[in-house]
């Protein structure tokens, strides 16, 4: 009887351990998904979007193409567009500058991807009416 009870306790502990490990794995997976999904939602209210050249990015020089639209979706010319570029996992210094107008609401900025991994591109747009919009993007250098 005693051996049977001990065996039952071991099985119960093993089941509890397996369940706890499963919960931890699920929580870790969900946390990873939510933290890595910093890229912008195409349906967001912001009129600022970002694309890169090359796409996908790689170590070396990169061009960041920033499209600016007003609330009605019309491209905005004559805005002042500034950017900060920094790696999110290591301090590689911050690259900053003003993007150059390309016409039809598009602005171009140059940066250098010095290392593989996730990078944050922070955009600050001062609209012609003086209002300011900020948006952060996370891009990855695979």
Q: Euclidean distance between the first and final Cα of the chain, in Å?
A: 60
Global confidence as pTM: 0.68
What would the mean pLDDT of 18-33 be, rounded to a whole number? 54
Please state the domain extents for the chain: 1-37, 48-141
Q: What is the pLDDT of residue 84?
A: 97
Q: What is the pLDDT of residue 100?
A: 98
Asked if 117 and 89 count as a contact pair (C-beta separation under 8 A), the reply is yes
Q: What is the pLDDT of residue 83?
A: 97
Q: How far is CA 79 from CA 53, 88, 108, 142, in A?
A: 22, 27, 12, 32
Q: What is the pLDDT of residue 117?
A: 96
* Of residues 12 and 86, more confidently modeled: 86
| Rounded percentage of the chain residues whose pLDDT exceeds 70 | 73
Q: How far is CA 92 from CA 83, 88, 105, in A?
A: 16, 9, 30
Hey, what CATH topology would domain 48-141 get?
A: Immunoglobulin-like (2.60.40)
List pLDDT tens digits, range 54-92. Answer: 999 999 999 999 999 999 999 999 999 999 999 999 998
Q: What is the pLDDT of residue 11?
A: 76
């Amino acid at each position: 009887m005693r051996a049977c009870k001990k065996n039952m306790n071991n099985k119960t502990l093993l089941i509890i351990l397996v369940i706890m490990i499963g919960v931890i794995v699920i929580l870790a997976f969900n946390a990873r998904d939510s933290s890595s999904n910093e890229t912008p939602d195409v349906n967001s209210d912001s009129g600022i979007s970002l694309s890169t050249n090359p796409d996908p990015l790689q170590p070396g020089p990169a061009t960041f193409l920033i499209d600016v639209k007003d609330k009605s979706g019309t491209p905005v010319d004559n805005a002042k567009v500034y950017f900060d570029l920094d790696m999110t996992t290591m301090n590689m210094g911050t690259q900053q500058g003003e993007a150059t107008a390309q016409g039809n609401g598009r602005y171009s900025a140059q940066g250098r991807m010095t290392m593989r991994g996730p990078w944050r591109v922070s955009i600050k747009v001062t609209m012609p009416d003086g209002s300011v919009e900020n948006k952060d993007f996370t891009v990855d250098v695979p």
